[in-house]
Amino acid sequence: MYIDIKGQRSYAYTGGKDFNPAQPTVVLVHGVLCDHSVWLLQSRYLAHHGWNVLAVDLPGHCKSAGAPPASVQEGAAF
């Protein structure tokens, strides 16, 4: 699914389940030079055990728009 974060179109992997507002939500954020795929196993497990999952791609990574952060500090500020 795509979501808007700070005016940028960002991709969020949901673990293969639709978002359900009645369930708790976990947000998973990858490290530098990675993407949402580092969370595939955890995302699927959580999504199939009662959680909403948003494994986001940071700007400029995999399916998200924008330029990648120029520094660790810039990435953390996002």
Complete DSSP assignment for 46-76: HHTTT-EEEEEPPTTSTT--SPPPSSHHHHH
Geometric angle at alpha carbon 49, from 15 and 9, rounded to 5°: 30
**Domains annotated on the chain, with CATH:** 2-77 (3.40.50.1820)
Q: What is the pLDDT of residue 45?
A: 98
Q: What is the pLDDT of residue 18?
A: 94
Q: How does pLDDT run across 19-54, given as a tens digit for each residue?
A: 999 999 999 988 877 888 899 999 999 999 999 999
User: Does the pTM of the predicted model rise above 0.75?
Assistant: yes
